[in-house]
Amino acid sequence: MFFQRLTSVKLGAAFAAALTVTAVPASATECIAPSNPGGGWDFTCRTIGRILSELGLVDGNVQVTNMPGGVGAVTFAMVAAERPDDADLIVATSTVGITQIAQGRYPAPLDAMRYLAMLGADVGVIAVDNDSPIQTLAELNAAMVEDPTALVTAGSSGAGGWDHIRLLMVAQAAGVDDLGAIRWVQFDGGTDAVTQMMGGQIDVVSTDLGEIAGFVESGDIRILAALSDDPIPAFPDIPTAISQGIDVTGYNWRGLYTGGQVTDEQYASWVERLETLYNSENWQTAATESGLVPIWRGGAEFEAFVREQAEVMEQISRDIGVIE
Amino acid sequence: MSVRILGVAIFVIAALYTWQAGNYVVNFGDVLGPSVFPVIVGVPMMILSASLVVFPTGQVEWPAPQRMWRQAAALAVLVGYTMTLEPFGFPLATFALIALIGIILGGAAWRAALLGAVMAPALWALFDKVLGLPLDFLGTLFGRG
Amino acid sequence: MEILSLLGHGFAVAMTPLNIALLLLGCFIGTLLGALPGLGPVNGVAVLIPLTFAFGFDPTSSMILLCAVYFGCMYGGRISSILLNIPGDEPAIMTTLDGYPMAVQGQAANALAISGVASFVGATIAVVGLSLFAPVLARAAIHFGPADYFALYILAFATIGGIAGVDPRKTLLSALIGLLLATVGIDPISGVPRYTGDNYHLYDGIEPIVALVGLFAISEILMLLEKHVRDRPKAIPVGSWLPQWGAIWRTRAAMLRGSGVGFVAGVLPGAGASLGSFMAYVTEKQWSNKKGTFGKGDPRGVAAPEAGNNAASGGALIPMLSLGVPGSGTTAVLLAMLVSLNVQPGPLLFERQPDLVWGLVASLYMANVALLILNLPMIGIFTRLMMTPTWALMPVVAAVTFVGVYGISNSVFDLEMMVFFGVVGYILRKLDVSLVPLVLGLLLGGDMERNLRRAMSISDGDWSILIASPISIVLYILTAGFLALSVWLALRDHRQSQAERLTEG
């Protein structure tokens, strides 16, 4: 009747939903965001899903399913076990997900999936409260070198996750020896971490800029460094870490994977459609407005990139001491 | 007696739970770690359940055997529903669920069957058509998939 | 004065025919979804998101529709709590404690009317709070650190012993079982899977709604099977179809207290409506349970938690809109929808999108009035449900709970969990163990643990951080006061009953 023609969105409470192939109408394209609503993966699925149907690249709407759990591990395991050949399924992933795989935190290896494309990247930033005595990245680094335990740092990932590693990479470049001594606190999102910093509970936040950009514009927090090669177009005044002598970049790219057993034609078709989407005005606008830098890598090039990044990430995690 | 058995059961669960917590270790960046909170929960559970074993309160009257059989039958129907929902599809499995539970609860067989025959398609229509939560009309057995 | 003009502007935005139609539709669907056990506000809002996209509504209209559903669910959840002893959604569990006993005593119409009016009072107070103080309150809430949240949960669990049941040890055990269940799943801080048995269905933990409907609905069927076997139809006296206005008026103080407590719980990100209704009930019970009527059908035990749950739901919009921090599962879904419509909630939302914010606030006032008008005449219809014979009512309830859970998750595993929890719930009920603390433990346990661990990470392992802030000290003093009062009341009752026995003897 009223909602008859609508594809459903299963959200929130859809806990580890064992979505069998049979349960989903055969024609529906589905994008799984392996997180709760509101985060980066959720944004990826919702925005890409919306634009895919706006551009007519899929039949009807794209059904967005939230399947949180284990920083993407639940979804990864489900796709590997139950839907490896479902060509109508795409799953959001990012540097965060690849970091988890590189550290052996997913129940299946990297090869279990085929990686489609990267469509944009969020830039990692190091931020302090507006009232903080720390004015520059150099001052932060000096404080951490003098006493690694002096400051409380936080972000949206757990210990050893990408937000944490980015901060440790900066500290390592600055010459902090005992990286394990730096205090790290996990929050459920970058916004949670920032508000706790404004409340005086923690001193430094390391996370993606996109989610917390509003607090930068309102003047509540101060960004010490952007972990990008070039200044961010939306915030040209924020200095990069490189420009301050710390040679660290920390992007969080946003991309998609599909099951490991989809055929080459189906894979190629997805890459082609995503490239069309990437080049559209809709995506460029949506990405920029939400603080992403549009970047394209697709198909075989992207597969190679993912593999290389996983190796690099494993090496960094080993160096820093996150894994043995 | 029943309370004592409950106390023993909870004590065993809590003990296993607390013991298992010791296996969850991380050595990087997580001060308290994943094992302390389960211990904080498990130890008072053991103390409280042990106190229930020693000083039980309350009397329990379990149902007569033939009523227990009815309960077992109801549970069998509920478990059966979880197994037949996907093969048989939603309306058929739900018809059986409503009719059988209705009969077990003392309804006349033909009335319970009629209720199931009306409510099962109605619920399917409400969820699949009105709320947009897709439910299979025909199950995997009948070629849907 | 400035607020009045902003609000007036908001009403102008909200008063378009489309927005009013969406508002009424949202209220109706929300009440329906809230009343169906197994479907709650999170799913209710999620189900309607595609609608907003499909019709290309602007962000303001979308928010009006979804917030009407959200508020409607909060109104609807109480109906099955009162009539069937099965909560329609998580925050409605407290309403079973006195609502169902009232219905059994033939007071169903009164219970429904009181809870409806209490919902209206709670939600309206929250919306007034939202329109007057949102930015200020959001700024105050950020001073609540991890150690303070932990202290808040300690306060909640310390007072749990007083909510129900004969033996406080059993009540406490029930809460601990809930906390135990809350640790199942992948630990978000360390990434370690705990107590999952390598079953990935358990990686994301045990979904509270699955446990809730299993514990209450399935166990209710098992309870009925031992009482009503082929004998009589349900012999509940219905009393009057119509509520008595005097009964509602007498609970006004309880409604106001419940609203205040609930609103505070709602403004704190993470605590949410369940904590709001729980704290409202416990506070009210401590405040006015002089004759031991709570838990046996005291109208104030219905008014307080319903006011609290609706006030908390409204309050939870404050951190969501002005900080971008979702205070509950439902506000997380609302936040996601705003983000995908290219609206970024946060400190600048009130300045940059005044149409959206004030249109939404105005529509919430209207939704409340609409819900009250919608709900009161339905009391007569709902009360007649009590006349339905058990053999017809309970199978349909079972089917609705199954399909509610399955329709969202498409997971047969969830249904198996429901049946399992049904058996557990039946055994615990037979042994006089209240199920309410178990559900609360499961709902709040994850946050409680994470905040403890965050606090310890901040202090680098120094436990004294737990009592380092003035907020946590106040909360611990309140906890101690609550416990002392409970002990004193218990001793007094004990002495009184002894004295009575002496005079009788």
Domain match, B130 and B85 both: yes
Domain match, B72 and B99 both: yes
Domain boundaries, given as residue ranges, for chain C: 2-504
C18: which residues sit within 8 A by CB, 6+ positions away?
A: C61
Residue of C nearest to B95 (CA): C399
| Residue range C93-108, pLDDT digits in tens | 899 999 999 988 888 8
Instruction: Decide if B59 is inside a domain.
Output: no
- Restricting to A residues 149-178, those with a Cβ less than 8 Å away from any Cβ of B are 158-160, 164
Residue of A nearest to B32 (CA): A185
Domain match, B69 and B130 both: yes
C416 touches chain B (CB under 8 A): yes
| Residue range C67-95, pLDDT digits in tens | 899 888 888 888 889 988 888 888 888 99
> Measured between beta carbons, which residues in chain C are less than 8 angstroms from residue A218?
346-348
User: Can you tell me which residue has the tokens 């279990």?
Assistant: A112
Structural domain boundaries, residue B16: 2-54
User: Can you tell me which residue has the tokens 């019970």?
Assistant: C285
| Residue A185 Cα to chain centre, angstroms | 18
DSSP secondary structure string for all residues of C111-175: HHHHHHHHHHHHHHHHHHHHHHHHHHHHHHHTT--HHHHHHHHHHHHHSGGGTS-S-HHHHHHHH
The answer to whether the CB of C413 falls within 8 A of the CB of C206 is no
Residue of C nearest to A38 (CA): C336
| Residue A238 Cα to chain centre, angstroms | 21
Q: pLDDT band for position B47 (50/70/90)?
A: very high
> Measured between beta carbons, which residues in chain B are less than 8 angstroms from residue A184?
29
Would you call C430 and B60 a contact, using CB atoms and an 8 Å cutoff? yes
Per DSSP (E only), the strands in chain B are none
Distance from first CA to last CA of chain A, Å, rounded? 58
C195 touches chain B (CB under 8 A): yes
- Is residue C299 helix, strand or coil? coil
Query: Which DSSP letter does residue C85 get?
Result: S
Domain match, B103 and B39 both: no
In a structure prediction context, what are the per-residue pLDDT tens digits for chain C, which is 505 residues long? Answer: 678 888 888 888 888 999 999 999 899 888 888 888 877 787 778 777 767 766 778 888 888 898 899 888 888 888 889 988 888 888 888 999 999 999 888 888 899 999 999 999 999 999 999 988 887 888 888 888 999 999 999 988 888 766 655 688 888 999 999 999 999 988 888 878 899 888 878 887 898 888 998 999 999 999 888 875 544 445 455 556 677 888 888 999 999 999 999 999 888 876 678 888 999 998 898 888 777 788 888 999 999 999 999 999 899 898 888 888 877 778 877 887 787 677 778 888 888 888 888 988 998 999 999 999 888 888 888 877 777 888 888 899 899 889 888 877 778 888 999 999 999 999 999 998 989 899 989 988 988 999 999 999 999 889 999 999 999 999 999 999 888 887 787 777 777 777 766 665 4
Q: What is the pLDDT of residue C239?
A: 58
> Measured between beta carbons, which residues in chain C are less than 8 angstroms from residue B26?
190-192
Domain match, B39 and B90 both: no
**Cα separation values, C256 from C101, C284, C286, C308, Å:** 23, 10, 15, 9
Please state, in angstroms and rounded to a whole number, the distance separating the CA atoms of residues C158 and A248.
Answer: 48
Q: Which domains does chain A have, with CATH numbers?
A: 21-121+253-320 (3.40.190.150), 123-244 (3.40.190.10)
Would you call C407 and B41 a contact, using CB atoms and an 8 Å cutoff? no
> Measured between beta carbons, which residues in chain B are less than 8 angstroms from residue C228?
105-106
Domain match, B122 and B74 both: yes
C235 touches chain B (CB under 8 A): no
| Residue range C119-165, pLDDT digits in tens | 999 999 999 999 888 878 888 888 889 999 999 999 888 887 666 55
Domain match, B94 and B49 both: no
**Cα separation values, A7 from C67, C119, C411, C486, Å:** 21, 32, 18, 53
Domain match, B75 and B118 both: yes
Per DSSP (E only), the strands in C115-229 are 185-186, 193-194
The answer to whether the CB of C410 falls within 8 A of the CB of A10 is yes
Would you call A18 and C411 a contact, using CB atoms and an 8 Å cutoff? yes
Query: Which chains does A contact via 3+ CB–CB distances below 8 A?
Result: B, C
| Residue B134 Cα to chain centre, angstroms | 23
Domain match, B75 and B135 both: yes
Of B106, B116, B131, the CB nearest to C228: B106
**How many domains does chain B contain in total?**
2
Q: What is the mean pLDDT of chain C?
A: 85
A11 touches chain C (CB under 8 A): yes
Q: Is B126 left (phi over 0), alpha (psi -120 to 50) or beta?
A: alpha
Residue of C nearest to B41 (CA): C176
Domain match, B130 and B70 both: yes
Instruction: Tell me the shortest Cα–Cα distance from A148 to chain B, in angstroms.
Output: 13
Domain match, B48 and B14 both: yes
Instruction: Decide if B70 is inside a domain.
Output: yes
Would you call A37 and C335 a contact, using CB atoms and an 8 Å cutoff? yes
Domain match, B47 and B77 both: no
Would you call B29 and A7 a contact, using CB atoms and an 8 Å cutoff? no
Instruction: Tell me the shortest Cα–Cα distance from B5 to chain C, in angstroms.
Output: 10
| Residue range A129-157, pLDDT digits in tens | 999 999 999 999 999 999 999 999 999 88
Task: Name residue B121's amino acid.
Answer: P
Instruction: Decide if B44 is inside a domain.
Output: yes
- Is residue A185 helix, strand or coil? strand
The answer to whether the CB of A60 falls within 8 A of the CB of A27 is yes
Two structure tokens written together for C232: 């009589």
Please state, in angstroms and rounded to a whole number, the distance separating the CA atoms of residues A195 and A201.
Answer: 9
DSSP secondary structure string for all residues of C427-475: HHHHTT--SHHHHHHHHHHHHHHHHHHHHHHHHTS-GGGGG-SHHHHHH
